[in-house]
């Protein structure tokens, strides 16, 4: 007998996924309104260590595979659907840490998918929709080099991945009372 997923897991997952996605989209909008178009001046909070500058990423991780937004959009949509199916259809959401980790990952997927579909309304100079992820956080500038700009969706993806690693390597699989009785 498969145990049901508690209602609290649904609430936690969707609150994290939708809340962090909303925070990502809000901060992107505010950054682009306040800092202007991509490539402008960097506004440093801590000189050469942490600041803000708008940029657009037409690729994936670290700008790889520029211009393949249709592929990344399909993969993002499939990943988001796969996560929800795995958590709630296959009941993986019974694991608390896994639910939180995948909520963060889903938030990152949705925030960047919104941008890749050009739902933000930003356009290139020629008037074409900018199917690109909006980034605005910059770190560690040394001369002309700096860590690639990122956004809250990217941070959410990284935090979710770190939690997945912790869940995979540092937690024991949860056994339920029914599973324990069946083993003995």
Give the active site residues.
135, 154
Dihedral of CA 78/83/84/88: which sign?
Answer: positive
Rounded CA gap, 114 and 22, in Å?
Answer: 11
Rounded CA gap, 69 and 44, in Å?
Answer: 30
CA distances from 102 to 13, 30, 153 (A): 7, 26, 13
- Asked whether 89 and 178 are in contact (CB, 8 A), the reply is no
Q: Alpha helices of 36-127 — where are they, by DSSP H? A: 69-84, 96-116
């Amino acid at each position: 007998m498969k145990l049901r997923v508690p209602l609290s897991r649904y609430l936690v997952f969707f609150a994290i996924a939708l809340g962090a996605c909303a925070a990502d989209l809000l901060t992107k909008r505010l950054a682009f309104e306040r800092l202007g178009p991509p490539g402008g001046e960097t506004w440093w909070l801590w000189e050469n260590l942490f600041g803000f500058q708008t940029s657009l990423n037409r690729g994936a991780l670290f700008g790889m595979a520029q211009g393949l937004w249709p592929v990344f959009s399909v993969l993002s949509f499939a990943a988001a659907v796969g996560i929800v199916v795995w958590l709630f259809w296959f009941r993986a959401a019974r694991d608390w840490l896994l639910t939180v980790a995948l909520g963060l990952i889903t938030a990152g997927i949705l925030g960047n998918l919104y941008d890749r579909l050009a739902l933000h309304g930003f356009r290139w100079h020629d008037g074409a929709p900018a199917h690109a992820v909006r980034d605005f956080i910059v770190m560690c500038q040394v001369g002309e080099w700096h860590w690639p700009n990122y956004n809250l969706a990217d941070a959410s993806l990284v935090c979710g991945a770190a939690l997945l690693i912790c869940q995979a390597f540092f937690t024991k699989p949860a056994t339920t009372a029914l599973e324990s009785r069946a083993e003995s």
